[in-house]
Amino acid sequence: MNARSTWPTPVAANPRMNRLRILHLNVGKRPAVQQSLLNDDSIKDFDALTVVEPYIFRHPQTGTPTIAQDHRWEVFKPTTLRTDGHARPAFRAAIWVNSRCEATQIPADSYDVAAALIQLKERQLLLVACYEARAADTEAGRERDLEAVLETVEATIRKAQRQAGTGQLEVLICVDLNRYHVLWGGHHPARARERRGEGDQIVDFVQEMGLNSLLPAGTIT
């Protein structure tokens, strides 16, 4: 596959973070896609890669669910793993931070949330990768699942704030929450009727946490 033509546009953060290059991708549990990502020389100088639905396998010696390692990247997996099934759904988010960067793990109480605190020259960046499958059978169940993930992200931000102390902390959250909203799904009348309101909880969270989207309104993700 031609990896250079398949990766999405790198995340460009606010002007104070405009020297960072971070790529976010849903791998879809495909080993070839994940390996192509790590082997692509065009992104070897990126500061970080955030991935949801990574390809996971059991370590041949320890049996622990893990993902591909590469000397150019430090891997950050969720600190909570799912243990009720096959290794591949053991966690559903991961971060690779360039080995030239100084980064530490921030614990998160969900196998769908991975977080790393990256030390920059004059500030720190909390980088979060997050996934929610929208897999519950009922709308009420889907709302509860989304609420739980967002609460975990908020708790993770609070932990990073305490660890950062009085220093300046930037927050960048890279997500795939499988919810529709016109802000990131475009104006599709049929979809808007069928899935009306399912993204409202995300919008409320963004406003309550003082966050903002880095995509122009209406950008289809």
Walk along the chain (221 residues) and give the pLDDT tens digit of each residue.
333 334 444 444 444 455 789 999 999 999 999 999 999 999 999 999 999 999 999 888 888 888 988 899 999 999 999 877 666 678 999 999 999 999 999 999 999 999 999 998 888 999 999 999 999 999 999 999 999 999 999 999 999 999 988 778 999 999 999 998 877 777 765 566 677 788 899 999 999 999 998 877 767 77
| Helix ranges (DSSP H) in the chain | 31-39, 139-164, 182-185, 189-194, 200-208
The pLDDT, as a whole number, for residue 10 is 47
CA distance 94 to 183: 25
CA distance 168 to 141: 37
The pLDDT, as a whole number, for residue 7 is 46
The pLDDT, as a whole number, for residue 167 is 77
Amino acid in position 124: Q
- pTM metric for this prediction: 0.86
CA distance 128 to 174: 6
For 41, phi and psi rounded to 5 degrees?
Answer: -65, -20
Structure-block tokens of residue 2? 């031609």
Q: Where are the domains of the chain?
A: 3-178
SS3 70: strand
The pLDDT, as a whole number, for residue 87 is 63
The pLDDT, as a whole number, for residue 122 is 81
CATH 3.40.50 for the 3-178 domain, yes or no: no
The pLDDT, as a whole number, for residue 88 is 67
